Chain A
Amino acid sequence: MMTNPTARITQGQFSFLPELTDAEITLQIEYGLKKSYAWSVEYTDDPHPRNTYWEMYGMPMFDLQDAAGVMLELQACRKTFPNHYIRLMAFDSTRGVETITMSFIVNRPASEPGFGLVRQEVNGRSMRYTVHSYATDRAEAQRYGA
């Protein structure tokens, strides 16, 4: 049974929606900047749900006034990693919050093989289950035809 027929990874905000256009991404960035969040761009080719910390593309961008700056960085990242997952994250530096408040995927590989269920037989008749990303069968930087 296919549990995810579209074979799209759904992580972060807006991931069940169609791909955001650049204009829509700009609006989201503007929203965050209005709330004085610091945006940052991250990428990875290992989209396992427990892979929380992706690679940073450049520094988080503090003190920005306009979305064009973030878009500039995003375009540069897309050019460098066209077949990686790229996400934008907004950091709220309010004292006591100090955490990521927005995060959404803005670039994904052309084909996403998805995840398989791995069963491991352990003591007695017990089974252990884990999730395995097909993409990670290949070496880093060779996944997704990159």
Chain B
Amino acid sequence: MTAPLYSLPGSTAAAATPAAPAKPMRTVAEVLAQSQVESVMDELDRDLIGLAPVKTRIRDVAALLVIDKLRAQHGLAAQAPSLHMCFTGNPGTGKTTVALRMAEILHRLGYVRKGHVVSVTRDDLVGQYIGHTAPKTKEVLKKAMGGVLFIDEAYYLYRPENERDYGQEAIEILLQVMENQRDDLVVILAGYKDRMDTFFQSNPGMSSRIAHHLVFPDYDVVELLQIADRMLTSTHYQFGAGAREAFDAYLQRRILQPHFANARSVRNALDRARLRQASRLYADRESALGAEDLSTIAASDILASRVFANIEGNAP
């Protein structure tokens, strides 16, 4: 680019790119200190329970980006890595939460410029009549530029039962932008494992353009209990005497029932326990309630669940 003879206000900032500080960075520690990515990673470790394979992969990606930065200082130009990702996992395994964190990590590392997340589903991308899909998809893509486009339940985009479905058009535009605007946009697809597999089988172009396939494992009971603790603490509640054990027993049973949605089921169970706690306190009109009473979930609140009632087996 030839340098112009005039200067525009603000153009000096761009001439010296933000990735090039006065002193060249030599060590990984310096890059980490500059980007403060370490704190996000620690937060990720602290806030998200379980998900070991996901965390490992995120660390790998972060490491690659850090090393790329160091390489760039030595003029070892590397092609910008493709960071489109696919999150597969059962309901409630934290796909959306991790996507939000991912955007922040990529932003800190300077891989995406703005670090916002645009979360969409099929309805936001696919139009209802001919010629409606392309502008709609493009508008969403333009909004997501400089950040992360998170497509939830991405397998709905492709409907094999209807050959005139407009979803295919959205997929094609998406593919084109994923390929050409790789440094402007990171696309994260999310969905349930089996259906995403079918989706990729019918769209091989999509599968090959996604470098990172992350599988979110189900949580075990210990992890779910930790999640419950975390949720209660954040809403200023606590387990009363025996309540944690009761919730453990609840989870052991609930996990075997159909439609178990991991962390989401935990949240719903806790919400129901809060309802029961509220009506228990409400029923007793005379006693003075302290902060302790108001914030404690008793074992009886949890044991009243229908999971214990329908133990004989005809659980809905």
When distances are taken between beta carbons in the complex, the residues of chain B under 8 Å from A58 are: 135
Residues on the A chain within 8 Å of B145, using CB: 64-69, 72
A7 at the interface (CB under 8 A from B): no
A59–B310 Cα distance when bound, in Å, is 57
A23-B1, A24-B8 known; A59 and B135 CB under 8 Å? yes
Residues of B1-37 whose CB lies within 8 A of A = 1, 4-6, 8, 10-11, 14
Q: When chains A and B are docked, how far (Å) is the Cα of A58 from the Cα of B10?
A: 29
Q: Is the CB of B10 within 8 A of A31?
A: yes
User: 8 Å CB contacts to B: which residues of A28-80?
Assistant: 28, 31, 58-59, 61, 63-70, 72-73
Bound: A24/B114 CA distance, A:
19
Interface size class on chain B is: 20 to 34
B143 near A72 with CB under 8 A, answer no
Binary contact readout A88-119 vs B (1 if CB under 8 angstroms, 0 otherwise): 00000000000000000000000000000000
Partner of A68, one of B1, B135, B138, B184: B184
Kindly identify which residue among B4, B10, B142 contacts A72, using a CB–CB cutoff of 8 Å: B142
**Beta-carbon contact of B184 and A66 below 8 Å:** yes
The distance in angstroms between the C-alpha atoms of A61 and B146, with both chains bound, is 15
- Note all chain A residues with C-beta closer than 8 A to B135: 58-59
Task: Assess A65 versus B116: contact at CB under 8 Å? Given A18-B4, A24-B4, A59-B135.
Answer: yes
- Select from chain B the residue with minimum beta-carbon distance to A63: B143
Given contacts A66-B184, A68-B185, contact A21 B146 (CB under 8 A): no
Nearest 10 Cβ contacts at the A-B interface: A66-B146, A69-B142, A68-B145, A68-B184, A69-B145, A66-B145, A65-B114, A66-B114, A65-B116, A65-B146
Extra contacts, 8 of them, besides A63-B143, A65-B114, A72-B145 (Cβ < 8 A), are A24-B4, A24-B8, A27-B11, A66-B147, A68-B146, A68-B181, A68-B185, A69-B143
Q: Which residues of A contact B (CB under 8 A)?
A: 17-18, 21, 23-24, 27-28, 31, 58-59, 61, 63-70, 72-73
